[in-house]
Structure 1
Amino acid sequence: MHEILDTVTSNIIPIISVFIALATLWLNRKPARDQIFEYRKKISDFAFDSYTKFGDEKFKKISYEYAIAALTKDNNLTTEQRDTLLSLKNPVFELEHFSKCQRLIDVQKNSLTWKNVFYKSRVYRWILKSLCFITYLLGGFICATPFMYDVYFSEKTLAHFSKLSPWYKVGSLSFIIATGFLIMVPALAKGSSITLAEKIVKNQRNLNN
């Protein structure tokens, strides 16, 4: 048992440090939607400068269209759909989070609805979020398994594990932790996207009322 503890402290903790470092780099990266914003902002500014120099209304229209497209940070919406997003009750919140749950929401002229008919049911969404939460806890449980091995595994299993090579031990424990992360992250993303979509759709309905 002490050999397993030594394996965890000497090998798994550095591996977790690598996971944390990679996660930090991922979180601090410049998101694609921010790159889209900067790219469209440059085009909008260039088009407006061209309008001020040449007085051509076409440049003014292009500048306006790209400015709206930069704010919404989308790739597929029409001008009417983007105008709908800008006219919501809390445009700062909606524009900031819309891209995270865009696949769940159908943007129509002056209205937002659920793309999937099942998502219109509050009970269905609650069930999905509950499943996401349970799956997230399951992933966390799997991640914690290597640190509570004496609780989850029998003495016979621990004795067998202690006879394995160090590399096999490290590989097995790393696989368990990685599996837990791979379960946690999608569940968290799915549950968060549903919650954000609910808030955006609700805000739009309140605006209409």
Structure 2
Amino acid sequence: MIAVSELLLKYIPSMLAALATVVTLWKGWVYSSDRIYEQREKSSKFIYELYKISGEEYLKKLSIEYGYAAITRDNKLSFEQRNALLTSKNPTSDIDAYRKCSHLLTISCNPLQFEWISKRHKFLYYRKLVMVVMTLVYTVGAYAFTLPLTYNVMVPVSVLNKVNVFTPLNKGLLTLYLIFVGGCLALWSLNKVSKIRIAENLRKNHIS
């Protein structure tokens, strides 16, 4: 049986290529908010310059709206909601937190409050259930991710005997599959749990 470490070295070019692809896609997703900010910032400045030339008040208001939209970097809030978010006691932390869990919360104005979008998230027991399930998913993902390095002590002998008949290529593909799927499951579950916690803290900090 070829050692897993040897298989990893043999297929490391493919692993690095896959990793590079994932990193590239991840960067594109992360920095999309920066592109939104830059586009809206330019629009705000351009419209304000038009306002100074024409004196049209609606252009001034539009320039402000684009400016607010640039700072909050969202696509669905109203002008009043953005204004409420920007005038909170801790606008920097609130904006960053809301951006991370905006799919879970909506904003109520006067006073600023954050409300659950989905009815089921209003129930504490449901949120705790989701966290428990995601913790189990994380455990499974972490187990699969580390399995290629701990298979000799974590896998039953009966399973090892079946794997032993695989070709070196199939063993390598199985290793890559376990690492990829396990890593994705672990990261996805952590992301779900962290966003629920961020949303809970955001609501708690603005309960009047």
TM-score tier (shorter): 0.7 to 0.9
Distance 1:11 1:88, change over 3 A: farther
Which sections of structure 2, spanning at least 5 residues, go unmatched?
Answer: none
Say whether the 8 Å CA contact 2:51–2:57 is kept in structure 1. yes
Which sections of structure 1, spanning at least 5 residues, go unmatched?
Answer: none
Counterpart for residue 126 of structure 2: 124
CA RMSD of aligned residues (A): 2.3
Question: 1:18 Cα shift?
Answer: 4.3
Counterpart for residue 180 of structure 1: 182
Paired-residue identity, %: 29
Given the alignment of the two structures, is residue 194 of structure 1 paired with residue 201 of structure 2, yes or no?
A: no
SS of 1:25's equivalent in the other structure is: helix
Counterpart for residue 166 of structure 1: 168
Distance 1:89 1:134, change over 3 A: farther
Say whether the 8 Å CA contact 1:8–1:147 is kept in structure 2. no
Bigger helix fraction: 1
Q: Which shifted more, 193-202 or 60-69?
A: 193-202
Counterpart for residue 56 of structure 1: 56
| Mapped partners of 1:53, 1:36: distance in 2 | 26
- Matching residue's letter, 1:136: Y
SS of 2:115's equivalent in the other structure is: strand
Q: TM-score normalised to the size of structure 1?
A: 0.85
Given the alignment of the two structures, is residue 84 of structure 1 paired with residue 80 of structure 2, yes or no?
A: no
Counterpart for residue 9 of structure 2: 10
Distance 1:25 1:153, change over 3 A: same
Could you tell me which of 118, 138, 141 is aligned with 2:140?
A: 138
Say whether the 8 Å CA contact 1:90–1:203 is kept in structure 2. no
Question: 1:17 Cα shift?
Answer: 4.1
The superposition leaves residues 15-49 of structure 1 with CA deviations (integer Å, 9 ceiling, x where unpaired) of 55445444543444452222111111111010111
Say whether the 8 Å CA contact 1:7–1:169 is kept in structure 2. no
Counterpart for residue 150 of structure 2: 148
| Mapped partners of 1:196, 1:12: distance in 2 | 39
Question: 1:147 Cα shift?
Answer: 0.7
Question: 1:124 Cα shift?
Answer: 2.8
- Matching residue's letter, 1:11: K
| Mapped partners of 1:152, 1:89: distance in 2 | 51
- Matching residue's letter, 2:9: S
Question: 1:13 Cα shift?
Answer: 5.1
- Matching residue's letter, 2:147: T
- Matching residue's letter, 1:5: V
Say whether the 8 Å CA contact 1:135–1:184 is kept in structure 2. yes
SS of 1:83's equivalent in the other structure is: helix
